[in-house]
């Protein structure tokens, strides 16, 4: 059993992680830590044995937690201290635990345009910073000014936009940084006009994505010159149940780059489907699909 420091937040041992993910699958965390605030998290990281693995889990919207669970400590930035959103002029500052959609709505209320696309991303600001999240022609890099976070050793680091070295769904920032807060800059506009564009995005998402299913969002990144959904669709995987392990997962009938858990699929079922589709698309087209969904933990 790993030795854990004293904390002010919530620290749970052998905590099942399935309820924290949109797929509703996966094993337990050896320890789950929900810090009270940034100081609590920094103190924890400074004291925790450096050999103990640390994994950050947001709202679990774009992740598969494998059935064997996650070794070490899983950190979840959840609750009001982590979700604060403030505006000042054309600037928006948001905590890493703030939902992307709430940042879009707060921006609209303040008459700040440019962050509307966040209404179409089912995650948190921490995840958006990590992967340069985007949709509908806009990305995090288009509006981000700066962000700060904590290293694995609990030391503060500050990053300007240029320091991220953003490319498509990728950042060159060290993967072990735990982001705490980000500042964005948009442009001024009428709140009603910004809200109308957000309504258009959310309406489009409602009709084209299986957001009420147990899903993980976009499964694969778009290969250069291709759309992942078209490759999956043309390979014949839309709506096809894959049940090698007796459970079953499938790519949605509504959007063929969205995997869903239609019932009692395991993490192995879901990841196995993704790998089967990657192999099939490669064999049929010569195009290698790259995972966008993050997969963490040990196989069951």
Q: What is the pLDDT of residues 118-164, one digit of tens each?
A: 999 999 999 999 999 999 999 999 999 999 999 999 999 999 999 99
Which one of the listed residues 24, 152, 169, 204 is annotated catalytic?
169
Catalytic annotation present for 138:
no
3-state secondary structure of 118: helix
State the average pLDDT over residues 253-273. Answer: 95
240/112: higher pLDDT: 112
pLDDT recorded at residue 244: 63
Whether residue 247 is predicted with pLDDT greater than 70 in this model: the reply is: no
Which one of the listed residues 61, 101, 171, 218 is annotated catalytic?
218
Whether residue 1 is predicted with pLDDT greater than 90 in this model: the reply is: no
Evaluate whether 28 touches 1 at the Cβ level (below 8 Å): no
State the average pLDDT over residues 95-109. Answer: 98
3-state secondary structure of 10: strand
Whether residue 11 is predicted with pLDDT greater than 60 in this model: the reply is: yes
Whether residue 25 is predicted with pLDDT greater than 70 in this model: the reply is: yes
Whether residue 246 is predicted with pLDDT greater than 60 in this model: the reply is: no
State the average pLDDT over residues 105-127. Answer: 97
Catalytic annotation present for 24:
no
Which one of the listed residues 30, 116, 181, 292 is annotated catalytic?
292
Give 174-222 pLDDT, tens digit per residue: 999 999 999 999 999 999 999 999 999 999 999 999 989 999 999 999 9
Q: What is the DSSP letter of 151?
A: -
Beta-carbon contacts of 196 under 8 Å, excluding residues fewer than 6 positions away, are: none
- CA 83 from centre of chain: 15
Residue pointed to by tokens 């990053």: 159
Whether residue 116 is predicted with pLDDT greater than 60 in this model: the reply is: yes
pLDDT recorded at residue 241: 85
Helix crossing, 100-109 with 191-208: angle to 10°? 150
Whether residue 245 is predicted with pLDDT greater than 60 in this model: the reply is: no
Catalytic annotation present for 292:
yes
pLDDT recorded at residue 300: 83
CA dist 210 and 48 (Å) reads: 40
β-pairing, 63-65 vs 294-296, is: parallel
């Amino acid at each position: 059993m790993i030795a854990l420091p004293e904390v002010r937040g919530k620290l749970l041992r052998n905590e099942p992680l399935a309820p924290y993910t949109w797929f509703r699958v996966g094993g337990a965390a050896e320890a789950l830590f929900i810090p009270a605030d940034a100081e609590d998290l920094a103190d924890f990281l400074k004291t925790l044995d450096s050999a103990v693995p640390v994994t950050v889990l947001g709202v679990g919207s774009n992740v598969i937690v494998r059935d064997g669970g996650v070794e070490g400590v899983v950190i979840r930035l959840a609750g009001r201290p982590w979700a604060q959103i403030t505006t000042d002029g054309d600037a928006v500052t948001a905590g890493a635990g703030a939902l992307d959609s709430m940042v879009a709505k707060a921006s609209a209320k303040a008459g700040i345009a440019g962050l509307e696309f966040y209404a179409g991303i089912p995650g948190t600001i921490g995840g958006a910073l990590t992967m340069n999240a985007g949709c509908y022609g806009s990305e995090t890099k288009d509006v981000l000014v700066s962000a700060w976070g904590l290293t694995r050793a609990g030391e503060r680091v500050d990053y300007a936009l240029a320091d991220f070295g953003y490319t498509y769904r990728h950042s060159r920032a060290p993967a072990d940084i735990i982001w705490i807060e980000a500042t964005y800059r948009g442009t001024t506009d009428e709140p009603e006009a910004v809200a109308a564009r957000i309504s258009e995005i959310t309406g489009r998402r409602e009709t084209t994505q299986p957001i009420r299913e147990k899903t993980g969002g976009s499964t694969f990144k778009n290969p250069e010159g291709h759309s992942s959904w078209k490759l999956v669709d043309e390979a014949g995987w839309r709506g096809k149940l894959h049940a090698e392990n007796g459970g079953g997962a499938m790519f949605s009938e509504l959007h063929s780059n969205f995997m869903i858990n239609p019932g009692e699929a395991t993490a192995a079922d879901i990841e196995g489907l993704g790998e089967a589709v990657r192999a099939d698309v490669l064999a049929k087209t010569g195009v290698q699909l790259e995972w966008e969904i993050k997969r963490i933990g040990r196989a069951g």
